[in-house]
Amino acid sequence: MPDRRVVEVREYETRIVDAVSLSDGDRCIVESPHLDSRLQLRALDRDRLEIRADCHVGVVVLDALEIRVVPKLVGGDLGVLRMVEYVANSTAVRRFDIPRTLDTGGTHLRDLVCLLLARECESLLSAGPRSDYRARHEALPVLRGRLLPDRQLLHRYGRLDQLECRYDERSTDILDNRLCAAALALAARTATAPGIRSRVRRLAADFRTLCDPGRVDHRQAAAELHYGRHNEYYRPAHRWALLLLNSGGIRDLFSSGPADERVFLLDMNVLFEDFVTCLTGKAVAPLGVTVRAQSRHRGILVHEDTATTHSEVCPDLMLTVGHGPTAWRRPLDVKYKLYADRKLSAPDLYQAFLYSHALSADPRPDTTAECLLVYPGPRDTPPRTVAVRTAAGRLTSRITAHALDVPEVLEALMANREARVLRQLADQMLAPSVPMSQSPQALLTRSGAGLSAV
């Protein structure tokens, strides 16, 4: 593998690189509309390349150089993997010494995914690869299994030297192994760190003796994979395999996506939203609060002349206590943006105000419609509140923006201090407009019959 010039760009950063001689293959990638939606590359005059990163992190490999988009807000590549782990309820990263691996240098996010895949596949081989019965149809000199009379009549009429048989035979050439083999084959072609590349190549050769990696379509694997007591131990390996094959389908770790060997980019906006959803669900569930992700509401925006819905209103999260007119509801919007050192954008504020005005509900008297906005940022970033007042000065709704210190949260989770993190998060989610020392449970139970369930 030739040595390439490595250029690191942080998310939401724009950089111009000089002395870049693009090949024809590079220009196809630069001009790809699919890549433009995740990382904007623009060839300039005098052999310059403009790189404009968004919320996607990972690596793009060109013939001229290797572009690494490193995460700025979540604690580096290790933080990204730990977020994936937490969302997937896995302990794969926690059992692995990732910091020591990062200190070796030369590794990027895809190399680390290849490394985790190799580790899990080695565990599968140590535990014994799974085999299962597969139906086979074959012409045999003696009867085995069940005779297929229709095939016998069609293909071997009047002959008894060959019998068309159907039988079941145990084989390791099954989807569980084929998925790992396909991912290892891709890792063997794309890993850049020499130690990781040699490791996955050995494993790829081992899995080729078990199955045919070319017989799997990873885009349909989610629908075909089912886990039980026989193959539950394959789940971690499948997670990293599909993540690698899908080149960053994080919304659903088993979603379809491109398998371009030169591109590996993860959507941090989606991953951060899933991470906040998992944290919020665990934080407020003991208080009797229901969390619904991507709840769709029709009838909010309507055409009055035709009484038809203009579009659905879909907040990232909806916190609910109770039912009916006495229910307490609070929408929550998640934004993976650099709001710690800049103002909230007008479109995000307009969206949040719509959520608060249309979906927020509180049975307590003299309350204001609320919507929360969560973004990644340092812990010492103070909450920011933006309110809407009428021309007469009456307060109608309020947006409270909170920064979530992802690296600190991840360290607390790794150190088994999850309860404390979740308690602090519940304070923010349920009582953004009262002192943080006030218990959210006491806050809600004071409101009377409508919230007495908490």
User: CATH 3.40.1350 spans which residues of the chain?
Assistant: 270-451
> What is the full DSSP assignment across 269-300?
HHHHHHHHHHHHHHHHGGGT-EEEES--EEEE
Lowest-confidence pick of 39-43, 73-77, 96-100: 96-100
Q: In the chain, what percentage of residues exceed pLDDT 90?
A: 20
Given a cut of 70, whether residue 250 has pLDDT beyond it is no
Mean pLDDT (whole number) for 96-105 = 49
The per-residue pLDDT for 39 is: 87
8 Å CB contact between 317 and 278: no
Q: Which of 92-96, 181-185, 286-290, 419-423 has the highest mean pLDDT?
A: 181-185
pLDDT band at 102 (very low <50, low <70, confident <90, very high): very low
The model's confidence at residue 174, banded by pLDDT at 50, 70 and 90, is confident
Domain 270-451, CATH among 3.30.360, 3.90.1570, 3.40.1350, 1.10.10: 3.40.1350
CA distances from 322 to 233, 286, 444, 445 (A): 39, 14, 11, 12
pLDDT digits over 274-322, tens only? 999 999 988 888 888 888 888 777 777 777 777 677 778 888 898 988 8
- Lookup: tokens for 361: 């509900």
Quick check: helix, strand or coil at residue 92?
coil
Q: What is the mean pLDDT of residues 26-42?
A: 80
Mean predicted confidence (pLDDT) in 217-242: 84
Predicted pLDDT at 403:
92
Residues 396-414: what's their mean pLDDT?
A: 89
Q: How confident is the model at residue 454 (pLDDT cuts 50, 70, 90)?
A: very low
Report whether pLDDT(343) > 70.
yes
Q: Could you report the per-residue pLDDT of 185-218, keeping only the tens digit for each?
A: 999 988 888 889 999 999 999 999 998 887 777 7
CA gap 14, 18 in Å, rounded: 13
Q: What one-character-per-residue DSSP string does 248-267 give?
A: S--SSTT------TTEEEEE
